[in-house]
Each structure stands twice: as C-alpha cells, then as structure tokens.
Structure 1
Amino acid sequence: MTTESLAGRPAPDHAPTATPTATPMPPRIGGRERLALVVLLTAGFTLAVDFSILNVALPRIGGDVGFSLANLQWISTTFAVCAAGFTLSFGRVADLFGRRRLFLAGIAVLGVSSLAGGLATVPWVLLTARVAQGLATAAVAPAALSLLTTSFPEGPLRERVLGLNGALMASGFTAGAVLGGLLTDLVSWRWAFFINVIVAVVVLSVGPAVLTENKAANPPRLDVPGAVTVTAALVTGVYGLTQAGERSWSDPHCWGFLAAATILLAVFAAVERSVAAPLVPPSILARPSVRWGNLAGLLAFATETSVVFLLTLYLQKVRNYTPLQSGLAFAVLGLGTVVGGLLGPRVIARLGGRQAVVLGFVAQCAATVPLVFLGDAPGWLADLLAATFVGGVANLVAIVGFMVTATSGLAGGEQGLATGLATMSQQVGIALGTPVMSAIATVSGAETPHGILHGVTTALAVNAALCLAAAILLAITLPTDTSPADTSPTDTSPTDRRNSESAA
C-alpha cells in the first residue's frame, strides 16, 4: 500500500521514482461489515414498518380484542408516544454504556413484546405490548443509527450507508400500509406482530457475531434529571400532538399537554445549564449543522408523511378506494423513496449536504403543487402517481442530506446523542405533520366528498408552501460544507478509527 492510500496525500519528494503515485481507491466494505450493515438496515426497516402496519387493521383489531371505537386510537398513540418520548435519552445511554448492548437488548424487547401483542385477547395486554414496542423502538433506532455512523468513516461510504438507511426507513412507512392491508385481508392482523418476532430471532442470531461494541472509554454519570425532564417533555408534547389529530386543535385537553411540554422543556434547558455532564451539551446544539440540520429533518418528515395522510383521505373519501387499494397506490411513492435514498449520496458528493437539503425541498414543493389541482380531472391517477414518485425521490434526498449534516463533524463519543437527536426529529415530525395538516383540511372543508376535496387541496397547497419556505430558510441557515475530499478528520474514538481502516 502506498503512502497516498494510507494518508490521502501525495508521497514525499524523496519517495522512489519507481513507485507510481496511487489513485485513492474507493472505500470497500468487508464481509463482516456487510453483514453488520444488513443487520442494522433490517432492524431500521422493521421499525419503520411498525409505525404504519397496524393503521388499516385497527377496526379489525378492535373487534377481535375488545376495543371500543373511541379507544382504538390508543393502539397507535401508546406506541408513538413512547417511541418519540424516550429516543433522546436512549441515544445518550448508547454513547455511555454501549451501542451494541442497547441495540441487542432493544431487539430482544421488541421480539417479546410483539409476541405478546400478537397473542393478545384483551385490551390491556395489547396496550402493554405496544408500550414495550415503543420503548424498544426508542432504544433500537438511535443505537442502530449510531452504530452505522461510527462503523463507517465520514465521506462517500457513510453517505452511501445513510442513503440506504433513509431509503429503507422511508419506504418502510409505505410498505407497512401495504403489508398491513395484505396481512389483515389474507391471513390475520396478528401476523403484523409475529413478523417482528421472526426478525428479532434472526437479528439476535447474527448480530452478536458481526456487531462491534463501541462506547466512551470513561463515561460520565448519566444526567438523570435531564433525562427525566426531556423525556417527560417529549412524551407530553407528542401525546398533545396525537390528541390534536384525534380530537381537534380547539380542544383544551390538547393545549394543556402542549403547554406542559413547553414548561418541561424550559426546565430541561435550565437543568442542562447547571449540571457538570449534561445529557445534551449546549456546545452540540450550538453547532448550526446540528441545530438547523435537525429542523430540516423534522420538516422533511412532517411534510411528506402528511401528504400520505391527505392523499389517503382523497383516495378513500373522494375516490372511494378501499384501504388496500390506497396502500397499493402508495407503492410508487415507496419506489421513489428507494430511488431518492440511492440518489441522495450522489447529490451530496457533487453539491454538498446543504445544497442537497435545499434542492430536495424545492423539488418536493414542485412535486406537491400538481396535487393541489387533482380534482376530477381526467388522468388524475397518472398525475398522482407521477407526483408522489417525484416527491418521494426529493424527500429522501433532503432526508439523507439532513442525516449527513446532523451527524458529521462530531466525535465518536457523541454519535449516540447526535443520532438520538436525529431520530427524535424524525419521530416528532411524523407526529406533528398529520395533526397540523388534518386541522387545515378540516377547517377548509366539510363532511362531503366535495368539501373533503377542497380541504385536502388547501392543505396540500400549505404543504407545498411550507416546503418552499423550508428551502429558503435552510439555504440561509445551514453552514456551507466542503466536499468529502476536503473535509478534515473529525475527533473519533479508537474504535471508530479501527472500523474506518477495516472498511477502507
């Protein structure tokens, strides 16, 4: 191996002339790293599927297990609240006590809780299982993402890996709706739980052999007051958002929880300024790439998931599609997210992370605008499929740009925190987008097909405007990044450096 291939710079002048200067080889992934990547991506895809796989099956579940119509929402709410509320704390726990350990423990809890959920015959068992599934998701998601970012060096290789991860996660939301409909109609809704058991057994069989543990050498004590207050704030806030979607934004119940979340966040900020080893060091949030990058992620997930919700209303309430037909119509969107995940790293390599985020939002806006004019126009289905495909591609380019921006330039010991923040932004965005757009559609429309169509198209117009506003804001606030070839080395742990060397 030449001096250039080791250090990334030309050999010194006294190097023998007989040895030609080598061109840096593209990074390669070894057999063990490839298996580890498959394990982590499989886990991420499964978690994404869990967010949507039960939605179309809720009425059937309610009849089989004994939920009243008014209480069906708790099947989704308990999962979403726990998944979003605990993710930041678990992300920091992964940094301090071991990402591999937390990942495997979370997968084990996911398998056991999914088995309990699939076998449930009474409501309290099913809700307990959903709480445990949410906690498992909060542990596994940031641990898996931080294992990805610490196992692959910054640059094209990590961008490619994050692109695959983003594509599979985004397509998992769509696949969940399709898979949930198929399982419910053809087999049983219980298999929506049992699939997780199979995945957990496979991951726990392979993961311990291929995943490498990495954590802080001398971890500080966990900031318990900070973890408690931020978890309470997130749980309370996400619950308030879900209630806004289920009830309405005028409900005092919703605003009471959102006000409590705001107070708890203020308490959390005060705690972080006073403790020696804060859960979220102010220096991390002071980085524009982290602060504005996570806002980009929140907006990317909020806008695209709410488009899916609005188009579901359009297809089922205006076009009289069945839930399964609606799910199949979104398969093209899922294909677009896969293409976007593969395209995102190429855009970042050519333009940089900031430009990829901005371009993604601009293209997403352009893809959403035609949906505003769907109405009863001939060829509406072709227009819808084309627009959702382009929107899926654009959204994933923005998401990959957000993931790369929000996790780059940080030490290996901070990756769990960085990925915990990124995962939290993703899940809060999912929780926020639907109730906001639902409120706009409800205020703008009425309970008739024509009224629903008007409400949906109005909300889609607001969605497109939000994408454009996000592009302008992020073009101003996100830092200008250099190309991967020019990026200076970051502060990494010895484990990170060994993994980087083994991947090259």
Structure 2
Amino acid sequence: MTTIAPPTIASGTAPRSTRRWLALSVLALAQFLVVLDASIVNIALPVLGQQLGIDTTALAWVVTAYVLAFGGLLLLGGRLADRYGHRRVFLIGTAGFAATSALAGLSITSEMLLAARALQGASAALLAPAALALLTHLFADSRDRTRALGVWGGVAGIGSAAGVLLGGILTATLGWQSVFFVNVPIGLVVLVTIPLLITRDASGARGKLDVPGAATITGALVAAVGALSAIEQVGLVHPLTLGLAAVAVVLGTAFVAIERRTREPLVPLGVFRNRNLTVGNIVMLLGGAAMVALFFALSVYMQSVLGYDALTTGLTQLPLAGALVIVAGLAPAAIARLGARSTLIGSLIVLAGGLVWLSFAPADAVFVTDILGPSIVIGVGMGGAFVTTTQLSVDGVEGGESGLAGGLVNTSQQIGGALGLAVLGTVAALRTDDLLAAGVPAPEAMTGGFAWLFAGTAAVAVIAAIVTGFARKN
C-alpha cells in the first residue's frame, strides 16, 4: 500500500484554523466557483453567440480567452501565493473573480466579454493554487488530507452538476448574462467567511520574486495554450499556430535556462524529483485532455444532434456529475485500502470503458438506453481519478512550495484541456467532414465525428493508466 507523506510545514508560517473542516467547506466553495464557471458557460454558449452576434468559430474564444489567462498565469499565481501569503492571494483572486464575473454579465459586445473572460482566468489563476495550498496546510495528517481531498473532488462534481443544471435553467429563464452573475454572491460569501476561519499569513514577502522566470514561463504557457487552441480554429500548419508554437518552445527553453541559474527560482526544477508529483501532473495533463473534450462534445452533441434545449442538456448530465460526487467521497477509503496508484489505475480503466460505451451512441440516441449507462460509468471513473491524481500531485511537497504544487497541477489540467479540445476536436471535425463528403446526412456525420472523439478520450485514459502503472514510486 502506498504511504502518503504529509507536506512539511514550517512552524509559524502556515495559516491555521480551529474550525478547519468548516474552513475547508468555504475553500471548496471557491473551487466550486471555478468548476461551475467552466460547465455553466458551455451550456450558455449557443444562446450567447446568437445574442452577441458571435459566429461558431469565434465563439470558441469565449472559452479560449479564459483558458489562456488561467493556464498561462497559474504557475505565477501559485508562486505569488507562496511568497506573499496563501490566504492573502486567495482572497485577492476570489475578489477579482467575482468582480470580473459581474463585468462579463454586463458585456454588450463580444470584445467586452472576451476581455472580461481573460480577467476571470487571471483571477482564477490566483484563487485555485492558493486554495489547494491552504488545504494542504490545514490537513497535514495523511488520513485527514485524503478525506479533505475527497471533499474537494466531490465539490468539483457538484460544481459540474450545478453548472449544467443552472446553466440550462438560468439561460432559459434569465438569459445568458445570469450564468456570470451567479458567481458574485458565492464570491462574496467566501470573502466574508475565510478571514473569520483562517488566521492571517505571516507578514511580508519571503525573498525575491523570479521576474525573468515568471515572464518567460507565463509567455510560454500562453503561447502553448494559444497554439493548441489555434489548431482547431485555423489548422495545424497555419502560420498563427506554427508561430505560437515556436514562441512557446523558445520561451520554454529560456525559462529552463533561467531556472537553472537563478538562486531563488520560480519553479525549482528539483521538485520534479518527487515522482508522485510528476506522475500526478502527467496524469492530470492527460485527464484534463479527456474531460474538457468530453464535456464540450457532450453539450454540442445533445443540442446539435439530439435537439435538446439548454435545460434538458443540463438535466441529462446530472447522473454523470452525481456519480462523480458519490465516488469522490468514497475514494479516500479506496486509497487507504488499495493505495493511491492502484486506485488511480482502476479509476482510469473504468473511465475508458465508459467512454468506449458512449462512442456507440447513435444519431437518434435515447437517453435512458444509450447515454445514461455510459454517463454513470464515466462519472465513477472521473470521481476516483480526480481525487487520486490530486493526492499524488501534492504528495510530500514542502509547505513553502504548496502554492507551487497547486499551480502545477492546475496548469497541467488547463494545458491538458486545451490540448484535448484542440486535438480531439480536430479529429472529430475531420471525421465529420469526411462523412459529409461521402454523402452521409449531417446528424449521422456529426455523430460519427463525436464517436471518434469519445474513443480518443478513452485512449487518453488508457495511456494515463499505463503511465501510472509503469512509473516508479518515490
């Protein structure tokens, strides 16, 4: 059985709470904001595009603008939290997220909306790694921390469920603007309660921030996510795609060179000697690719092929999210009995099986007979995989680098999501085009493309299981 070592926390530097489980619930509420935003916006995209006059191709930038800022700034956000205080940076990120959500809801042009989405992503890049760092500080004991991560994973499932359901209800009744406004009261609750539950950070910054490293890695990540997103929108060999990829490689290389010479690096490269952390981030990269592509495809498939409205689409995704919530709560017991890696491998195999099953859904699918079963299996696999991967990603991390670990795992998820949406979305589009060229009716052609996408996500889950199985333990 894998032994999970708690993070080392320097005496007197970690935020503390006498009501840590209540504090966890509020931290999880902030994580709920980030998860909710992703799923709730997907449901609203078709209506949003019609009302603001955004075509289908440009509509992808509503997602991409958020992902670019979020994925590009996560490592910097995590390191800022380590330097200037996890609670302080968490509250700044939460306030920014609530304010920019309100700005997005007030948007009257596509340009205003895209700017607000980018600012939302930047705020989330401060919020997410700081929240995970606070969790690891509050729960140093391995058993309690595993239970806390189970709650964390369950909240992610609740966020997905609430997102698809609220997205449908709010879009149908109050308009697309309400899917952004809903973040504001939740953010206010978090901002009021966290200072009452978690003590202040130690005053003052620790050391000097690695500005050259921060600039190069942020630029490299933004360029990489932009290149991946551009693949789907303009093609693999388009000058924009190739140019962004080249910039990402150059800046990434410069970042590694800077980190090797800097006395106080933004990302100490030695952190990757922690094999559990490395495996956790690789699996999160692959898992993010599968999850983002899956949820995007499901929303489009149900609305464009099956003819469901936004509300019905939200309701049909509840079984998946419900299964995820239940299994996330049970995952800590499985980790304690079987070990983290065995639990993760089993979860990934279950996830792959559900995705293969879903790939056989026809163009005239009936929800109860064709979609419900695979949705539940997928939720079971995702619930176990999410909790266990997060556990590995923060396993044994020093207290002064917990924000960095949170930034790394969230960065892996975002980069993986952009990669999955770009590559698997392109595969689906090419398959659909081939079928249309062969004279296949549009609904069947689109279904054929989605079948390839679902099968591709299953392959990604299998690869993640193989990586987990063959990687050596610490």
Do both share a fold (TM > 0.5)?
Answer: yes
Which amino acid in the other structure matches residue 55 of structure 1? N
Aligned counterparts of 1:128 and 1:463: Cα–Cα separation in 2: 31
Is contact 2:72-2:222 (8 Å) kept?
A: yes
Alignment-derived partner of residue 99 in structure 2: 112
C-alpha offsets along residues 17-41 of structure 1, whole Å, 9 cap, x if unaligned?
Answer: xxxxxxxxxxxx9862232112101
* Bigger shift: residues 350-359 or 59-68: 59-68
Alignment-derived partner of residue 228 in structure 2: 241
Aligned counterparts of 1:112 and 1:466: Cα–Cα separation in 2: 36
Tell me: CA distance 1:307–1:409, structure 2 relative to 1, closer, same or farther (3 Å).
Answer: same
Alignment-derived partner of residue 468 in structure 1: 462
Is contact 1:292-1:478 (8 Å) kept?
A: no
Is contact 1:95-1:216 (8 Å) kept?
A: no
Tell me: CA distance 1:381–1:313, structure 2 relative to 1, closer, same or farther (3 Å).
Answer: farther
Alignment-derived partner of residue 258 in structure 1: 245
Aligned counterparts of 1:60 and 1:317: Cα–Cα separation in 2: 13
Is contact 1:313-1:456 (8 Å) kept?
A: no
The 5 A counterparts of 1:169-318 are 169-214=156-201, 219-318=206-305
Post-superposition offset of 1:440: 1.4
Alignment-derived partner of residue 498 in structure 1: none
Alignment-derived partner of residue 370 in structure 1: 357
Aligned counterparts of 2:360 and 2:315: Cα–Cα separation in 1: 22
Segments of 5+ residues of structure 1 without an aligned counterpart are 1-28, 481-504
Alignment-derived partner of residue 343 in structure 2: 356
Tell me: CA distance 1:441–1:126, structure 2 relative to 1, closer, same or farther (3 Å).
Answer: closer
Matched, 1:451 2:451: no
* Bigger shift: residues 419-428 or 207-216: 207-216
* Bigger shift: residues 61-70 or 456-465: 61-70
Aligned counterparts of 1:463 and 1:92: Cα–Cα separation in 2: 32
Aligned counterparts of 2:214 and 2:189: Cα–Cα separation in 1: 32
Is contact 2:130-2:403 (8 Å) kept?
A: yes
What SS class does the counterpart of residue 54 from structure 1 fall into? Answer: helix
Matched, 1:332 2:319: yes
Which amino acid in the other structure matches residue 121 of structure 1? I
Post-superposition offset of 1:421: 0.4
Post-superposition offset of 1:379: 5.9
* Bigger shift: residues 415-424 or 456-465: 456-465
Is contact 2:42-2:296 (8 Å) kept?
A: no
Count of matched residue pairs: 452
Alignment-derived partner of residue 3 in structure 2: none
Alignment-derived partner of residue 7 in structure 1: none
Tell me: CA distance 1:204–1:275, structure 2 relative to 1, closer, same or farther (3 Å).
Answer: same
Post-superposition offset of 1:159: 0.8
* Bigger shift: residues 424-433 or 214-223: 214-223
Alignment-derived partner of residue 143 in structure 1: 130
Is contact 1:364-1:464 (8 Å) kept?
A: yes
TM-score by length of structure 2 reads: 0.89
Segments of 5+ residues of structure 2 without an aligned counterpart are 1-15, 437-441
Which amino acid in the other structure matches residue 263 of structure 1? V
Structure with greater contact order relative to length (CA < 8 Å, sep ≥ 6)? 2
Which amino acid in the other structure matches residue 138 of structure 2? S
Q: Pick the structure with greater CA Rg.
A: 1
* Bigger shift: residues 378-387 or 235-244: 378-387
Alignment-derived partner of residue 34 in structure 2: 47
C-alpha offsets along residues 408-451 of structure 1, whole Å, 9 cap, x if unaligned?
Answer: 11211111111110111121122221222111112223342222
Aligned counterparts of 2:290 and 2:23: Cα–Cα separation in 1: 32
Matched, 1:479 2:467: no
Post-superposition offset of 1:323: 3.2
Aligned counterparts of 2:365 and 2:407: Cα–Cα separation in 1: 46
Which amino acid in the other structure matches residue 260 of structure 1? V
TM-score by length of structure 1 reads: 0.84
What SS class does the counterpart of residue 19 from structure 2 fall into? Answer: helix
Tell me: CA distance 1:30–1:213, structure 2 relative to 1, closer, same or farther (3 Å).
Answer: closer
Post-superposition offset of 1:42: 0.5
Aligned counterparts of 1:407 and 1:123: Cα–Cα separation in 2: 38
Post-superposition offset of 1:164: 1.4
* Bigger shift: residues 228-237 or 383-392: 383-392
Post-superposition offset of 1:198: 0.8
Aligned counterparts of 1:49 and 1:333: Cα–Cα separation in 2: 15
Post-superposition offset of 1:97: 0.9
What SS class does the counterpart of residue 219 from structure 1 fall into? Answer: coil
Tell me: CA distance 1:71–1:367, structure 2 relative to 1, closer, same or farther (3 Å).
Answer: closer
Post-superposition offset of 1:250: 4.3
Aligned counterparts of 2:324 and 2:53: Cα–Cα separation in 1: 37
1:420 to 401, 407, 412: 407
